[in-house]
Amino acid sequence: MINIEVDENISVKNISSFKELVEGAVKKDNISLDFKNIHRTDLSFMQVIYALRLEASANKKKIKLLNVSHELKTQMVICGIVKDK
């Protein structure tokens, strides 16, 4: 399991480097993404998470999301990454 702590300043401005990071990681192992430093983000990040989830599923890898704030979860629901319960 590769643990990645998501940077508090993640946004469209620096999303490319995050994408490269997870793209490399998912090829190797399962990933745990720790959101303890952020409580909300933007659409560019959500799309990368969405594509990462699809990529992991295709490669039979697992993605674990840790410390997801209420607001971040709402954002994930809005982007179709998780379902609202």
Partner 1 sequence: MGSQELLEIFKNEAEEIIQNLESALLTLEDNPDDETINNLFRYLHTMKGSSGIAGFGEVSEFAHHVESLADKIRSGELAVSSDIIDILLRAVDWFKAKIFDPESGYDFELNRQLILDDLASIGNHIPVKEKKEELNVFRIRIKFREDIFEYGTDPLILLEDLYVSSDEIVEWNVSKEKLPDLDQMDPQKVYLCWKMIVKTKLSEKEITDIFLFVKDDNDIDIADITDSYEEDDDIDIVNENNRLGDLLLKKGIVTEDELNSILQLQDYKNKKLGELIVEKGFATKKDLDKALQVQGKIRNKIESSTVRVDTHKLDNLMNLLGEIVIGQSAITRYADELDDDTGYSLKNALYGLDRITREFQEQIMSIRMIPIGPTFGQFKRFVRDSSHKLGKSIKLEITGEDTELDKTVVEKISDPLKHMIRNSIDHGIESSEERVAAGKSEEGTIYLDAYHREGNVYIEIKDDGRGLDRKRIREKAVDKGLLGKDEEISDSRLISFIFHPGFSTAQQAGEFSGRGVGMDVVKNNIEALRGSVDVSSEEGRGSVFKIKMPLTLAIIDGMLFRVGSSTYIVPLLSIVESIQPKKEEVQTIEGKGEVVLVRGKYISLLRLYDFFSEEPDNKNPWESLLIIVEADGRHMALMIDDLIGQQQIVIKSLDNIITNKKSVSGAAILGDGKVALILDVHGLVKDFSFEGVAK
**Site residues, partner 1 (CB under 8 A):** 8-9, 11-13, 15-16, 18-19, 22-23, 26, 39-44, 46-48, 50-52, 54-55, 71, 74-75, 77-80, 84
Q: How far is the CB of 34 from partner 1 (least distance, A)?
A: 19
Query: 38 is written with which tokens?
Result: 């952020």
Cβ pair 77, 84 in contact under 8 A: yes
Measured from the CB atom, is 5 or 73 closer to partner 1? Answer: 73
CB of 2 to partner 1, least distance (A): 15
The least distance separating partner 1 from the CB of residue 1, rounded to whole angstroms, comes to 19
Backbone Cα Rg of the chain: 12
